[in-house]
C-alpha cells in the first residue's frame, strides 16, 4: 500500500555525467516504522537522500513526501521532513540549545514553541542537562543525538537518516538505533535509514530496500527480502544481492 | 511574526553568536584597518596631500581621507569572510541545513546576507570609536547618518561574497579570491587616494577605479559620514548589490550553478 506512505519514490533515475547513480528506482516508506535502505558504498544511497532533501534538481521520476511532489512543491515536502546528513552539520562553537533554536527559526517556529519542543526533544533523546554545553564538548554519539533532536524540532512526519551511525562506537551505535526505532514506534514517524550495516536492521519490524549498482535489488519486509534472495538470514541475503556474484535482478525485485 | 522574519532573526543571531565566539576574527577585523590608519596613513601623510574636494569643506589629513576607505575595507573583508565560511559550511555539510529549510532559497540567502551585514556594521562602529579615541574624528551625527550607507555597502559587498561562494568549488581556491578580487577591488578604488590623483597617473586606471563598485561604496560612506547624500554612489551600490545577489541566487539553485556542477563531478 503506497497511498498512505510517507515517502513514495517512483521511477527515479539520476546520473553523474555518464555514470548512472540511480536507475528506475521505486519504493515506498510507510508511516510508523523504519525502512532501512541497505547498500554497499557507492550503491546510490546518498544520492537518493540528496535528491529526497531537494538539494539536486529533480531528475526523471517522482519523489512524493506526504502527497507533496518534491519537484512541484519542494517547500511543502521539506516542511514535513527531518533530515540527518551523513556529514556532521552542527555549529561546534554554539551550544546545543543555540543550535536547536537556529534550526527552529529556519522552520519559522515561534520562540515559545521552540523552547517547549526543545525541552521535549532533549528529554526524548536523553540530552536534558546538556542544553547549555557547546557542541564541541560533546562526544560523537551525543552530537548525533543532537542532530536527531534538531531534525525533530518541527515535528516532521518523515525522518531521513543518512548513515547516521558512521564513526560511532558499537554501544553508541546500538543505543542510537534503539532510540530511532522507539521514536518510530511511539510517534508514528516514518524513518528512512540508509546504512550498509546489517545489524542496524530490526528483522521483526523493519522494512528493507536493498540498493546495488544504482538499482533496487529487493524490497519489502525482511522475510520477503530473504525469500527474494533465497537466503536464511539478512547478512547472506545482502551478500547475495550485492556481492560480486550477485544474481541478475529477479522479476519480483524489478 | 511571520516564518520569514523568524528565520531572519535566527540567522542573524547565529552569525552574531559565531562572531562573538571567534574573538580572533573580531581582533583581526579591527587590527587590519587600524594598522592602515595609524601606521600606513601616518607614513604617507606627508607624501599624499589631499586638496579640498566634496564632501570636505577644508583641507583634511590623510588619516581622515582614508577613514571611509578603511570602513569599506572592513566590510569588504567581512564579505569575503562570510564567503569563506559559506564555502567551509558547504564543504562541511552545514550549508545543507540552511538549504533544506522550507523557506524560499532566495530569502534564506538574503537572510544570510543581512546577517553578515549586521556583523560588519558592528565591526565598523568598533573601528570608528577606536579611531575617534586616536583623534581621527568625523562629525558626531555622521556616525548615525552613515548607518544606512553601511547597510547598502555591506549588502553589496556581502552579495559579492555570496556570489563568490557559489562559484568557488573548494576552500583551497580561496587564495585566488584575495589576489584576483579583494586586492584589485581595494586598490583600484578611491579608498586610499582620490580618483583625480589616479587620473593624473593613468586614464585607464582612473576609468577602472570609476566603475569599481567598491569606489561607489566608499564614496557613499564618505559622504554619509559628513552628513551628505551621494545619490549616484547609492544607485551604483544598490545596482551592484542586486546584480551580485541575483547571480548568487542562481548559483545556489540546484538546477543551475555550482550545486549542479558539483553533482556532475562527484
Q: Note if the bond before B55 is cis, omega within 30 degrees.
A: yes
d(CA B94, CA A88): 7
Kindly state whether residues A118 and A148 are assigned to the same domain.
Answer: yes
- A33 and A62 in one domain? yes
Domain with A149, as residue range(s), is 90-155
User: Cβ contact (<8 Å) for A106 and B11?
Assistant: yes
Query: What are B12's three cell numbers?
Result: 542573524
Average pLDDT over residues A130-152: 92
Q: Which residues of A touch B24 (CB under 8 A)?
A: none
Helix (H, G, I), strand (E, B) or coil at A92: coil
Q: Which of B58, B67, B10, B18 is nearest to B38 (CA)?
A: B67
B60 contacts B50 by C-beta, under 8 angstroms? yes
Residues ≥6 apart with Cβ < 8 Å to A3: none
Contact residues on chain B for A90, CB-CB shorter than 8 A = 94
Given A155, A170, A199, which residue is the final one in a domain?
A155
Q: Is A169 on the interface with B (CB under 8 A)?
A: no
Cα-based torsion angle of the residue sequence B151, B156, B157, B158 in order, rounded to the nearest 10 degrees: 80
Closest residue on chain A to B109 (Cα): A106
| Residue A218 near residue A228, CB atoms below 8 Å | yes
DSSP string, chain B: --HHHHHHHHHHHHHHHHHHH-HHHHHHHHHHHHHIIIIIHHHHTTT------TT-SS---HHHHHHHHHHHHHHHHHHHHHHHHHHHHHHHTHHHHHHTSSS-HHHHHHHHHHHHHHHHHHHHHHHHHHHHHTT----TTHHHHHHHHHHHHHHHHHHHHHHHHHH---GGGHHHHIIIIIHHHHHTSSSSS-HHHHHHH-HHHHHHHHH-HHHHHHHHHHHHHTT---HHHHHHHHHHHHHHHHHHHHHT-TTSHHHHHHHHH-
Do A165 and A70 fall within a single domain? yes
Residue in A17, A50, A91 nearest the CB of B14: A91
Of A209-223, A240-254, B17-31, B154-168, the one with minimum mean pLDDT is A240-254
Tens digits of pLDDT across chain B (266 residues): 799 999 999 999 998 888 888 778 788 888 889 998 888 887 777 666 666 677 777 778 888 899 999 999 999 999 888 888 777 777 667 778 888 999 998 899 899 999 999 999 999 999 999 999 999 888 999 999 999 999 999 999 999 998 988 887 776 666 777 778 888 999 999 998 888 888 888 899 999 999 999 999 999 999 999 999 999 999 999 999 999 999 999 888 765 555 555 544 43
Q: How far is B257 from chain A (nearest CA, A)?
A: 11
A85 within a domain of the structure (yes/no):
no
Q: For chain B, what is the domain count?
A: 1
| Residue A248 reports pLDDT greater than 80 | no
A104/B contact by beta carbon, under 8 A? yes
CB contact under 8 A, B17 and A108: no
Write out the three cell numbers for B60: 583634511
- Residues of chain A in contact with residue B255, where contact means CB-CB under 8 angstroms, are 57
Cell numbers placing A107: 522552520
Contact B13 A102 (CB under 8 A): yes
Which of A138, A155, A172 is the C-terminal boundary of a domain?
A155
Q: Hey, are the CB atoms on A102 and B14 less than 8 Å from each other? A: yes
A150 and A193 assigned to the same domain: no
Alpha-carbon distance of B210 to B220, in angstroms, equals: 13
- Tell me what pLDDT residue B260 has: 52
Q: Provide the mean pLDDT of chain A.
A: 88
In a domain, A172, yes or no: yes
The continuous run of DSSP H or E covering A16 comes out as strand A7-16
The predicted structure's pLDDT at residue A169: 82
Contact with chain A for residue B260, Cβ under 8 A: yes
- Does residue A179 share a domain with residue A141? no
Q: With contact defined as beta carbons under 8 Å apart, do B138 and B224 qualify? A: no
Cell 558547504 locates to: B90
pLDDT of residue A250: 43
Does any domain span residue A184?
yes
Please check whether residues A231 and A252 belong to one and the same domain: yes
Grid cell, residue A115, equals 523552547
Residues 6+ apart with CB under 8 A from B221: B68, B71, B72, B146, B149, B150, B153
Residues A235, A172 share a domain: yes
Return the C-alpha cell found at A127.
Answer: 540530552
Q: Judged by CB atoms within 8 Å, which residues 188-247 of B form the interface with A?
A: none
Enumerate the residues of chain A whose CB falls inside 8 A of the CB of residue B114. none
Task: Decide if A53 and B13 are in contact by the 8 Å CB cutoff.
Answer: no
pLDDT digits (tens, 9 = 90+) for A10-19: 999 998 888 8
Q: Indicate left, alpha or beta for B168 from its phi (over 0: left) and psi (-120 to 50: alpha).
A: beta
Check CB contact of B262 with chain A, cutoff 8 Å.
no
pLDDT at A3 over 70: no
Q: Domain holding A218: CATH number?
A: 3.40.50.300
Select from B6, B17, B263 the Cβ nearest to the Cβ of A108. B6
The whole-number pLDDT of residue B266 equals 39
How does residue A247 score in pLDDT terms, banded at 50, 70 and 90?
Answer: low
Both A144 and A173 in one domain: the answer is no
B97 in contact with chain A, both atoms CB, cutoff 8 A = yes
- How many structural domains compose chain A? 2
Average pLDDT (A116-137) is 91
Scanning every residue of chain A, which has its alpha carbon at the shortest distance from the alpha carbon of B103? A75
pLDDT over threshold 80, residue A161: yes
Q: For the complex shown, is ipTM > 0.85?
A: no
Task: Note down the domain range covering B45.
Answer: 3-265
- The residue of chain B nearest to residue A55, with distances taken between CA atoms, is B254
Would you state the pLDDT for residue A252?
41
Amino acid A253: pLDDT: 43
Is A245 inside a domain boundary? yes
Domain co-membership, A203 together with A219: yes
In a domain, A37, yes or no: yes
The answer on A164 and A148 residing in a single domain is: no
- The shortest CB-CB distance from B7 to any of A56, A90, A105 is to A105
pLDDT of res. B167:
81
Residues listed for chain B: 266
Query: Does residue B255 sit at the A interface (CB-CB below 8 Å)?
Result: yes
A19 and A136 belong to one structural domain: no
| Domain presence at residue A44 | yes
| pLDDT confidence of residue A219 | 93
Q: Are A118 and A241 within one domain?
A: no
The helix (run of H) or strand (run of E) holding residue A74 is: helix A74-79
- Residues B13, A137, B81, B28, Cα dihedral to 10°: 100
Amino acid at each position: 500500500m503506497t497511498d498512505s506512505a510517507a515517502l513514495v519514490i517512483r521511477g527515479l533515475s539520476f546520473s553523474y555525467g555518464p555514470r548512472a547513480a540511480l536507475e528506475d528506482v521505486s519504493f515506498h516508506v510507510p508511516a510508523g516504522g523504519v525502512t532501512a535502505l541497505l547498500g554497499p558504498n557507492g550503491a546510490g544511497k546518498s544520492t537518493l537522500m540528496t535528491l529526497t532533501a531537494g538539494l539536486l534538481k529533480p531528475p526523471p521520476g517522482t519523489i512524493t513526501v506526504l502527497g507533496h511532489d518534491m519537484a512541484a512543491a519542494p517547500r511543502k515536502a521539506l516542511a514535513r521532513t527531518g533530515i540527518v546528513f551523513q556529514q556532521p552539520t552542527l555549529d561546534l562553537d554554539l551550544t546545543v540549545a543555540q543550535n536547536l533554536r537556529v534550526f527552529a527559526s529556519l522552520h519559522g517556529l515561534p520562540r515559545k514553541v521552540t523552547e517547549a519542543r526543545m525541552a521535549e526533544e532533549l528529554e526524548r533523546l536523553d540530552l536534558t542537562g546538556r542544553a547549555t554545553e557547546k557542541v564541541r564538548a560533546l562526544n560523537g554519539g551525543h552530537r548525533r543525538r543532537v542532530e536527531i533532536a534538531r531534525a525533530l524540532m518541527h515535528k516532521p512526519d518523515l525522518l531521513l537518516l543518512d548513515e547516521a551511525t558512521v564513526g560511532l562506537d558499537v554501544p553508541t551505535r546500538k543505543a542510537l538505533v534503539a532510540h530511532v526505532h522507539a521514536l518510530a514506534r511511539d510517534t508514528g514517524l516514518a524513518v528512512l535509514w540508509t546504512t550498509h550495516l546489517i545489524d542496524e536492521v530490526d528483522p521483526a519490524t523493519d522494512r528493507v530496500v536493498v540498493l546495488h549498482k544504482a538499482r533496487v535489488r529487493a524490497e519489502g519486509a525482511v522475510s520477503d527480502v530473504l525469500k527474494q534472495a533465497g537466503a536464511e538470514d539478512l547478512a547472506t541475503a545482502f551478500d547475495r544481492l550485492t556481492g560480486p556474484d550477485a544474481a541478475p535482478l529477479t522479476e519480483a525485485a524489478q | 511574526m511571520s516564518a520569514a522574519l523568524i528565520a531572519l532573526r535566527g540567522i542573524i543571531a547565529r552569525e552574531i553568536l559565531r562572531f562573538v565566539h571567534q574573538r580572533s576574527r573580531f581582533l583581526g577585523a579591527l587590527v587590519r584597518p587600524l594598522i592602515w590608519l595609524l601606521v600606513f596613513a601616518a607614513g604617507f601623510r606627508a607624501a599624499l596631500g589631499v586638496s579640498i574636494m566634496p564632501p570636505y569643506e577644508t583641507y583634511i589629513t590623510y588619516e581622515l581621507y582614508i577613514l571611509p576607505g578603511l570602513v569599506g575595507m572592513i566590510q569588504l573583508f567581512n564579505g569575503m569572510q562570510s564567503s569563506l565560511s559559506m564555502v567551509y559550511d558547504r564543504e562541511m555539510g552545514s550549508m545543507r541545513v540552511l538549504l533544506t529549510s522550507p523557506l524560499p532559497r532566495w530569502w534564506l540567502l538574503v537572510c544570510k546576507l543581512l546577517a553578515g551585514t549586521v556583523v560588519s556594521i558592528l565591526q565598523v562602529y568598533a573601528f570608528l570609536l577606536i579611531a575617534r579615541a586616536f583623534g581621527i574624528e568625523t562629525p558626531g551625527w555622521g556616525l548615525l547618518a552613515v548607518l544606512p550607507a553601511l547597510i547598502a555597502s555591506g549588502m553589496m559587498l556581502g552579495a559579492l561574497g555570496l556570489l563568490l561562494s557559489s562559484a568557488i568549488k573548494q576552500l583551497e581556491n580561496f587564495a585566488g579570491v584575495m589576489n584576483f578580487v579583494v586586492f584589485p577591488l581595494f586598490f583600484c578604488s578611491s579608498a586610499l587616494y582620490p580618483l583625480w590623483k589616479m587620473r593624473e597617473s593613468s586614464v585607464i586606471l582612473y576609468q577602472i577605479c570609476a566603475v569599481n563598485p567598491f569606489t561607489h561604496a566608499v564614496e557613499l560612506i564618505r559622504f554619509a559620514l559628513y552628513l551628505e547624500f551621494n545619490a549616484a554612489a547609492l544607485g551604483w551600490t544598490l545596482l551592484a548589490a542586486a546584480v551580485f545577489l541575483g547571480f548568487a541566487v542562481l548559483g545556489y539553485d540546484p538546477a543551475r550553478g555550482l550545486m549542479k556542477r558539483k553533482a556532475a563531478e562527484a
